[in-house]
Amino acid sequence: MRLSEFIRQHVDRIVDEWEEFASTITPAAEHMDSQALRDHASAILLAAARDMEKPQNSKEQAAKAKGEGPDITPSLDEAGASHGELRHTVGFDLVQMTSEFRHLRACVIRLWVESLDSPQTSYFQDMIRFNEAIDEALAESTAAYAEQVNHSRDIFLAILGHDLRAPLQAVSMSTELLLRKTRLEGDALTCALNIKQGARHMAAMVSDLLELVRSRLGKTLPIEPAPMDLADAARTAIAEACAGNPECDVALNAHGDTRGTWDAGRLDQLLQNLIGNALQHGSNTCQVTVTLDDQVDVVCLSVHNHGTPIAEEAIGTIFDPLVRSADETLGQPSTSLGLGLFIVKQVVDAHGGTIEVTSNEADGTRFSVVLPRKVQAGNNYSTTSRPNR
C-alpha cells in the first residue's frame, strides 16, 4: 500500500499516537482536553497525503528542499501555521512543538513499514515525499510560533514603555515643584537637579521604546490573582495621577465591599490608564469621578469625566491598539500612541470581565468595567516554571 493511502486509512490511529505523545508535554498539556491535544494533526496528515500524490519533477523537488518555489500545498501550510500559533498560546516552547513533528514522522514511517510485506522501489519515493511534506508543515509551524513569540515580546515592551510614563511624570512634576517652592542648597539642590535630569533622560528612552514597538503588538496578558481591595488600589492610582497633574481634581466614591481576587499590578495599569485618559481628554473645569459599586459576585468600576465627547464612529475601535484620536480640547493631535485603552481592555479580558463606554455632550464620558470577584478557571495565569522537554 502506498504511503498516502496508508495515511488516509489509518489517520485516526496515527492521531491517537500524536495525542498520547502530546499529553506527556507538561505542564502545558496538563489542562488540555483531547481536542486541543489533537489540534490540526489530522489536517496536517491529510494535506501531506494529498501533496504526495501530486506530480513533482526533479526541479520542483530540489526547490522544495531549499524552501523555495511556489506554495503548492496551501492547506498544509495553513494547518502547520495554525498549529504553531495555538501551541504557543497554550504554553509549549519551541523545542516541545517541534518534537511533535519528530514523533509524527517516526510514528507514520514505523506503522507504515510494519504494514508492508514486500517493499518496492516506489516506496522510497513515498518516504521522501512524506518527509518533504512534514518538513514544510514544520517550517510553517516554526515560523508562526516565532511570530507569536515576537508579538508577545513586543506587547510587553509596549505596555512597559506606556506605563512608565505615569510614574516618570509624577517624578518630574514633584521635582519641579520642589525646586520652585523650596529653597534648596548644596547637596540637596544637586540631588534634585540630578533627579530632574535623570527623569528627562528616562522619558526620552521610553519614547524611543514606544516608537520601536509602535506597530507591533501581541496577545493575552498573563495575570497572578491574589486577594486585594479595589478601593485601596484606586486611592493609590489617584494619588499617583494627581502627583503628575497637580491641578487635577479626582474624586473616589466607593460603596460596599470592594474586595476580590485580582492581579493588583494589572488593575493598577487599568486604573492609571482610565484615570489618565479622563484627565487628558476631560474638561479642565470639571471633576473626574471614580466610582466603585458592590454587586454581590462582581465589583463595578466606572471612571467619568466631562469634556468633548468621543465621536460615535470612534466608539467601535476605541479599544483597538494604535488608535489615536485628535485632542480637540488642545487643538492638536494627542501624543498618545493609542495603547492606553488597549491595555485596559486586555486587563479586563484577562480577568474575565467586561468594559463599555458611553459618551455624549450632556452626560460626559463614562468607562464602565465589571470585574468578577474571583478570576474564573482557565484564564491566562502566568507561571515561573519551565515546561518539561
Q: What superfamily in CATH does domain 226-372 come from?
A: Histidine kinase-like ATPase, C-terminal domain (3.30.565.10)
Q: What is the pLDDT of residues 55-101, one digit of tens each?
A: 777 777 666 656 555 555 667 778 888 887 788 777 787 777 778 88
Residue 337: phi and psi, rounded to 5, are -90, 0
Q: Supply the pLDDT for residue 321.
A: 65
Q: Please state, for a pLDDT cut of 70, what percent of the chain lies above it.
A: 78
Q: Supply the pLDDT for residue 233.
A: 95
Give the mean model confidence (pLDDT) for residues 305-318: 84
What HEC string does the chain produce? Answer: CCHHHHHHHCHHHHHHHHHHHHCCCCCHHHHCCHHHHCCCHHHHHHHHHHHHCCCCCHHHHHHHHCCCCCCCCHHHHHHHHHHHHHHHHHCCCHHHHHHHHHHHHHHHHHHHHHHCCCCCHHHHHHHHHHHHHHHHHHHHHHHHHHHHHHHHHHHHHHHHHHHHHHHHHHHHHHHHHHHHHCCCCHHHHHHHHHHHHHHHHHHHHHHHHHHHCCCCCCCCCCECCEEEEHHHHHHHHHHHHHHHCCCCCEEEEEECCCEEEECHHHHHHHHHHHHHHHHHHCCCCCCEEEEEEEECCEEEEEEEECCCCCCHHHHHHCCCCCCCCEECCCCEECCCCCCHHHHHHHHHHHCCCEEEEEEECCCEEEEEEEEECECCCCCCECCCCCCCC
Distance between CA 164 and CA 39 in Å, rounded? 39
Give the mean model confidence (pLDDT) for residues 225-240: 92
Q: Would you say residue 243 has pLDDT above 50?
A: yes
Half-sphere exposure of 273 (CA within 13 A, CB side): 28
pLDDT range class, residue 366, cuts 50, 70, 90: very high
Distance between CA 129 and CA 107 in Å, rounded? 16
Q: Supply the pLDDT for residue 109.
A: 80
Least confident range of 49-58, 182-191, 261-270, 333-342? 333-342
Beta carbons of 283 and 307 less than 8 angstroms apart: yes
Q: Supply the pLDDT for residue 133.
A: 73
pTM, 2 dp: 0.49
Beta-bridge partners for 57 = none
pLDDT range class, residue 51, cuts 50, 70, 90: confident
Amino acid identity of residue 257, one-letter, is D
Q: C-alpha 377: how far from its chain's center?
A: 18
Q: Supply the pLDDT for residue 378.
A: 44
Task: Tell me the three cell numbers of residue 253.
Answer: 466614591
Q: Supply the pLDDT for residue 332.
A: 41
Task: Decide the pairing of beta strands 250-255 and 288-295.
Answer: parallel
More confident residue, 306 or 379: 306
Could you state, in order of their start, the residue ranges of all structural domains in the chain? 1-219, 226-372
Q: What is the pLDDT of residues 199-218, one digit of tens each?
A: 877 876 676 566 556 545 54
Q: Would you say residue 369 has pLDDT above 90?
A: yes
Distance between CA 368 and CA 275 in Å, rounded? 12
Distance between CA 326 and CA 83 in Å, rounded? 40
